[in-house]
Structure 1
Amino acid sequence: MTHDLIRGAEGGVLATAAMSAVMLAGDRAGLMGDQPPKRIARAFLPGHRHRPKPGEGVLGAVAHFGFGAACGAAFALLHGRRRAPVTLGVAYGLAIWFVSYQGWVPKLGILPPIAQDRPGRQAVMATGHVVYGAMLALAVNALRRET
């Protein structure tokens, strides 16, 4: 079980890096506004929840990779030792996107729900979560073969 958690967390970090590349490309294309991990970090730092704060970018990146690692560990643990189909990873990534951006993120007042948010940001975020899920399945499968 510990082995699965570690491999899943490693896969989650790799998948988060791939997802972050999608998010940065979306940002460069002018589709994002603020990056969601930065907005989430901002909301939890002291002071007004919607005003920029020192360190929010770094804290957002660290939290994003930590969340990605935790979700990767959960995926590996839930899936067990079988080979994870990429389609299952994609569905998992989209489920994380939906639960986060239709659920807890708007409930905490950080960003609006999907249908009310910037269309470009949510298109990029959905795509990023597809990439996360696909890369997570591929990474977990590859990391398990190494041992």
Structure 2
Amino acid sequence: MMRNLVNGAVGGALATAVYSAMLMAADRAGLLEEPPPRRFARVALPGRGSRPRPGESVLSTIAHYAFGSSCGTVLGLLSAGQRVPVPIGTAYGLLVWHFGCRGLAPAIGAYPPLPKDRPGRQATLLAGHLLWGTALVLALNRLRAERAQLTTELAPRLREEVRRPVIPAPEPVSVR
């Protein structure tokens, strides 16, 4: 169970890195007014205003990775160390998007409710969360415990194969 928890947290952090790269590209392309992690940090910090505050960028990055790792931990625990099909991860990314964009963001005033928000931003965020869920499952499947057990089972056979000569020794020739 602990291994699944750690794998989920690591997988969530890796998937968040992929999602963050997409957010940076979308921000540079002008698809987002402000990346969601920064917007959440601005709403959470005291003294609302339009100007950036000290520590806002660091806080938003830490919070974003903490949230991504937490969500990854949930799927890591639910998977119980088993291989997770990629469509499940994509659907899980959709669930996280729904929770954030339809529930949390409007509730704290970070973004308007979905029908009143810009369609381009929501499409970008949805695509990012689908990517996040897919990356999460790929990471979980790569980190799962079964791989480690398989490696330890194969190790003795591999050592035996390495010890065997590649070129067979010539048979002795009789001298008569």
TM-score normalised to structure 2 length: 0.79
Matched pairs, number: 147
Q: For 2:91 and 2:138, how far apart are their aligned partners in 1? A: 14
- RMSD of the TM alignment (CA)? 1.3
- Over alpha carbons, which structure has the higher Rg? 2
Corresponding position of 2:87: 87
* 1:66-105 alignment runs, 5 A limit: 66-105=66-105
Instruction: Show structure 1 runs of 5+ residues with no match.
Output: none
Distance 1:84 1:49, change over 3 A: farther
Aligned residues of 1:42 and 1:51 also touching (Cα < 8 A):
no
Q: For 2:49 and 2:99, how far apart are their aligned partners in 1? A: 21
* 1:45-60 alignment runs, 5 A limit: 45-48=45-48, 51-60=51-60
Aligned residues of 1:91 and 1:130 also touching (Cα < 8 A):
yes
The one-letter code sitting in structure 2 at the alignment partner of 1:70 is S
Kindly indicate whether structure 1 or structure 2 has the higher relative contact order, using CA contacts under 8 Å at least 6 residues apart.
Answer: 1
The one-letter code sitting in structure 2 at the alignment partner of 1:131 is L
The Cα offsets for residues 78-131 of structure 1, whole Å up to 9 and x where unpaired, read as 121221011000000110001111002101111112222222211111011011
Aligned residues of 1:12 and 1:71 also touching (Cα < 8 A):
yes
Shift of 1:44: 1.1
Q: For 1:103 and 1:23, how far apart are their aligned partners in 2? A: 20
Shift of 1:14: 0.5
The one-letter code sitting in structure 2 at the alignment partner of 1:80 is A
Shift of 1:50: 5.5
Aligned residues of 1:43 and 1:50 also touching (Cα < 8 A):
no
Give every structure 1 segment of 4 or more consecutive aligned residues whose post-TM-superposition deviation is greater than 6 Å: none
Corresponding position of 1:132: 132
Q: For 1:61 and 1:98, how far apart are their aligned partners in 2? A: 21
Q: For 1:26 and 1:120, how far apart are their aligned partners in 2? A: 10
Q: For 2:25 and 2:120, how far apart are their aligned partners in 1? A: 12
